[in-house]
Amino acid sequence: MYSNAPGCRACGSTGCVEILAFGEMPLSDGLLSEAELERHEHRFPLTVVFCPDCSLVQIRETVDPGILFGADYPYFSSFSDAWLRHCRENALELMETRQMGPSSLVIEIASNDGYLLRNYVERIIPALGIDPAPGPAAAAREAGIEVRQEFFGRALAESLAAEGTRADVIHANNVLAHVADLPGIVDGIRILLKDDGVAVIEAPYVRDLIDHCEFDTIYHEHLCYFSVTAVSRLFSAHGLTLVDVRRLPTHGGSLRMYVQRAGTPSAAVGALLAEERSLGLDRAEYYEDFASRVREVQKSLNQLLGSLKAEGKRIAGYAAAAKGTILLNSADIDGRFLDYVVDRNRHKHGKYMPGVRLPIYETAKLLEAPAPDYLLLLAWNFKDEIMRQQQEFRDRGGRFIIPIPTPQIAA
C-alpha cells in the first residue's frame, strides 16, 4: 500500500533529515462516495525530509500509484479559468518563439483533459498527450487530442522514441513532483526531446512553500518540493541542462524551468542559484523552524473558527481541493466547524472530503438558507478568482477566511 523511499528520490543518499511529520493523513484526493463512508478509509504517514547531499525536499512515503491515481481520480484541470489562461499564454509564447507549425510535435506529460494541448491543436500543431487517468484522457480525446493512456517514464519514452516520436516541446506541469521514479521521468524527458527541443516544466517552488507556510500543498501525491539548486543538480546528473527559469505566482509560487539536452544556463538561473545559496535553501537549518510555524497556523485557524462558532456563525469551505484535505485534517477542522464544502467541479458533488467527511455541494448552495456567514477558502491559491465569482455571497454579507500564510478574515 505504501513504502518508505530507501534513500533520496533524486540522488539516493541515505542521510535525509526530517523537517515536518504530519502523522497519518488520508489521501488528499480520495473523495468518498456515500457508500465508502461505511468502509475503512486509507490513512498513511506523511513526513517531509531534506536531503543534505542534493538539497531536495521530499516526503518519505510512497503510496502505491494504483491507490493514489485510481479510476476515481477527480482532478480535471479545466475547472479554473485563471489556470487555463496561464497555460494558454505559455503555449502561445512557445509557438511563437519556437516557430512551431504542422511539422512540429508537442508532447505533454500528464495532459489531463487536454486543457493545455488544445491550444496547439487549434493551430494545427501535432500534439500527443500522456496520462494514465481514464476520465480526463477521454475528455482530451473528445477535444481532438491524441492520448497515450499510460504512466510516463523511461520505458514509455524509449518505446515512443523507437517509433520515431520525439518532441520539439515537452510540457510537464505539476507532474515532476508526482512521480516516484524521479530519475526515470527525467531520463524519459531527455530521451523524448529532439536535439534542439525544450522541455518546459512547472513545479511549485519550495522556497515559497516554506516562506509562506503553505504546508497544505504537502500531500501523498506530491513526493518532491523543488528548489533551483536541487533541480539543476538533478537535470545535470541525467544529461540535461537547466537553461532558463522563471518564478511564477501560480499554486502559491512556482518555478517554470526550461530544460534542454545542451545549452548554457541563463543569468536568471545563476541569479536564483546565488539567492538560494545566500538564503541557505541548500542547508537543513533553513527548514528548522518550519514545523513549529505550521503548528502555529493550524492552532490559530482552529481557534479562529472555534470563536466564530461560539458566536453562532455558520461556516462553509470553498473547494474540495487536495490542499483542503490536508488543511482540514491536520488542523482538526471537521463538522464541528464547517457545515459543508462547495466546489465548481460537478464530478465532486455528492461526495465527501477525505478524513473529516464533510459533504461537497455545488456553489449555488452558498446562497440557500441557512446561508453561511463565512467561507473558508481551502483553494487559497485561487482566492482572487473565487472571491470575484462569489460576489453575490459577499453582497449578502458573507465574508471570506484566508487560512494561509496566517489565518485571517478578508477585508
Contacts to Zn ion by CB under 5 A: 8, 10-11, 13, 51, 53-54, 56
| Amino acid at residue number 45 | P
Considering the complex, state which of residue 54 and residue 109 has its C-beta at the smaller distance from Zn ion. 54
What are the angstrom distances between the C-alpha of 120 and each of 87, 135, 172, 250, 375?
11, 21, 15, 22, 38
Considering the complex, state which of residue 11 and residue 401 has its C-beta at the smaller distance from Zn ion. 11
> CB of 178: closest distance to Zn ion in angstroms?
18
Considering the complex, state which of residue 13 and residue 165 has its C-beta at the smaller distance from Zn ion. 13
Considering the complex, state which of residue 173 and residue 227 has its C-beta at the smaller distance from Zn ion. 227
> CB of 378: closest distance to Zn ion in angstroms?
32
Q: At what angle do helices 182-192 and 228-237 cross, to 10 degrees?
A: 60
Joined grid coordinates for residue 158: 524509449
Find out whether 130 and 192 touch, Cβ atoms under 8 Å.
no
> CB of 377: closest distance to Zn ion in angstroms?
35
Considering the complex, state which of residue 4 and residue 303 has its C-beta at the smaller distance from Zn ion. 4
Q: Residue written as cell 472530503?
A: 353
> CB of 233: closest distance to Zn ion in angstroms?
8
Q: How far apart are CA 63 and CA 39, in angstroms?
A: 19
> CB of 50: closest distance to Zn ion in angstroms?
9
Q: How far apart are CA 405 and CA 261, in angstroms?
A: 38
Find out whether 218 and 48 touch, Cβ atoms under 8 Å.
yes
> CB of 238: closest distance to Zn ion in angstroms?
13
In sequence order, which residues have a C-beta less than 8 Å from that of residue 57 and are 6 or more positions away?
19, 48, 49, 50, 51, 206, 224, 225, 226, 227, 230, 287
Considering the complex, state which of residue 227 and residue 390 has its C-beta at the smaller distance from Zn ion. 227
Q: Is the dihedral of CA 24, 52, 230, 158 positive or negative?
A: negative
Q: How far apart are CA 187 and CA 185, in angstroms?
A: 5
> CB of 103: closest distance to Zn ion in angstroms?
40
> CB of 183: closest distance to Zn ion in angstroms?
11
In sequence order, which residues have a C-beta less than 8 Å from that of residue 70 and are 6 or more positions away?
none
Considering the complex, state which of residue 17 and residue 92 has its C-beta at the smaller distance from Zn ion. 17
Cα distance from N-terminal residue to C-terminal residue, the chain: 44
> CB of 224: closest distance to Zn ion in angstroms?
10
Joined grid coordinates for residue 234: 538533478
Considering the complex, state which of residue 11 and residue 170 has its C-beta at the smaller distance from Zn ion. 11
**Residue 219, phi then psi, degrees to nearest 5:** -155, 175
Nearest alpha carbon to residue 97 among 5, 198, 175, 171: 198
Considering the complex, state which of residue 130 and residue 223 has its C-beta at the smaller distance from Zn ion. 223
Helix (H), strand (E) at residue 25: strand 17-26
Q: Among all residues, whose Cβ is closest to Zn ion?
A: 8
> β-strands 254-260, 106-109: how paired?
unpaired
